[in-house]
Amino acid sequence: MSDDTDTGMVYLVGSGPGDPSLLTVKAKELLDTADVVLHDKLPGPAIIESIPESKREDVGKRAGGERTPQEYTNDRLVELAKAGRTVVRLKGGDPFVFGRGGEEMEHLATAGVPFEVVPGITSAIGGPGVAGIPVTHREHASSVSFVTGHEDPTKDESAIDWEALAATGGTIVVLMGVGKLPAYTAELQDAGMDPETPIALIEQATRPSMQVAVGTLDTAVDIRDEVGIEPPAITVIGEVATTRERVCQWIDQTQHHHFEQIETQDQS
């Protein structure tokens, strides 16, 4: 039982890309012991449904498709902690990669609520990884940039300098980049990037419904539509995307095995 006079604790926890066995040991322990888990949809059904419904609070999209305001989530975290609860704020991937974890942490600090950060495997690295694509490679890319394809619509100008990114010669990993794919693949080509530059799109990485599509900067939009890639998906741009075809045989075998395991778990 929690003592209401004592402030509780908030854990900002990354869930990894969706396969429950990729939760960290600490994340799993906290999900088992926390009083309340605030989450959105990104951790995915396998992880969310493993948490008892009585301690789940969905702070993602509300009925009608509207996003829960960030202020609500911030205030709810403080309110629960001040009532003595142990709270997990569960976020897909890593809490600090395009996840607003930074904002929430600052809010907790300002409110005087104790918190701890529990990193997770980000889909930006692990997503390409399970598809057989290393984000860096000694022969292909010695740098990697992580960018959002979906910027704050209230910003007047794009904060992303695609021309500068093209000039790095390294890998570009785009998150939230399914809808805006036509815009940024065009910008990169305008910036002088070779239209033959390899691209891979990885949807639902590490989940049973994972899909991968491979093409070039020039064909990216066509392959997205042909394969039917939908969010959540990662876009990888750069030579590293060709690694997949050299290891595909092994990757597909492993994934098959892995999906069977998940299905077996679901039945139990």
Measured between alpha carbons, how far is 84 from 36 in angstroms, rounded to an integer?
11
Among 94, 134, 200, 243, binds ligand SAH (CB under 6 A): 94
Nearest CA among 14, 13, 62 for reference residue 34: 13
Residues 187-246 that bind ligand SAH (CB under 6 A): 202-207, 231-234
Contact range with ligand SAH by CB under 6 A, out of 48-56, 68-76, 93-101, 185-193: 93-101
Give backbone dihedrals phi and psi of 203, rounded to 5 degrees, phi first.
-100, 140
Q: Report the residue number, 107 or 207, with the smaller CB distance to ligand SAH.
A: 207
Among 8, 20, 119, 127, binds ligand SAH (CB under 6 A): 127
Q: Give the contact letters, 129-168, x = binds to ligand SAH (CB under 6 A), - = no.
A: ----------------------------------------
Q: List residues bridging with 141 in a β-sheet.
A: 137
Residue 124: Cβ within 10 Å count: 23
What's the closest the beta carbon of residue 192 comes to ligand SAH, in angstroms?
26
Catalytic residue IDs? 40, 61, 176
Measured between alpha carbons, how far is 138 from 160 in angstroms, rounded to an integer?
26
Q: Report the residue number, 9 or 175, with the smaller CB distance to ligand SAH.
A: 175
18 near ligand SAH (CB under 6 A): yes
The tally of CA atoms less than 13 A away on the side-chain side of residue 227 is 21
Q: Report the residue number, 8 or 95, with the smaller CB distance to ligand SAH.
A: 95
104 Cβ contact partners less than 8 Å away, ≥ 6 residues apart: 12, 73, 74, 77, 89
Measured between alpha carbons, how far is 15 from 129 in angstroms, rounded to an integer?
17
Q: Give the contact letters, 44-83, x = binds to ligand SAH (CB under 6 A), - = no.
A: ----------------------------------------
What's the closest the beta carbon of residue 53 comes to ligand SAH, in angstroms?
23
Q: Which amino acid is at 24?
A: T
Tokens for 243?
């690694």
Measured between alpha carbons, how far is 134 from 127 in angstroms, rounded to an integer?
10
Q: Which amino acid is at 33?
A: T
Question: SS3 for 97?
Answer: coil
Residues 165-184 that bind ligand SAH (CB under 6 A): 175-176
Among 30, 38, 87, 97, binds ligand SAH (CB under 6 A): 97
What residue ranges bind ligand SAH (CB under 6 A)?
Answer: 17-18, 42, 91-94, 97-99, 122-124, 127, 175-176, 202-207, 231-234
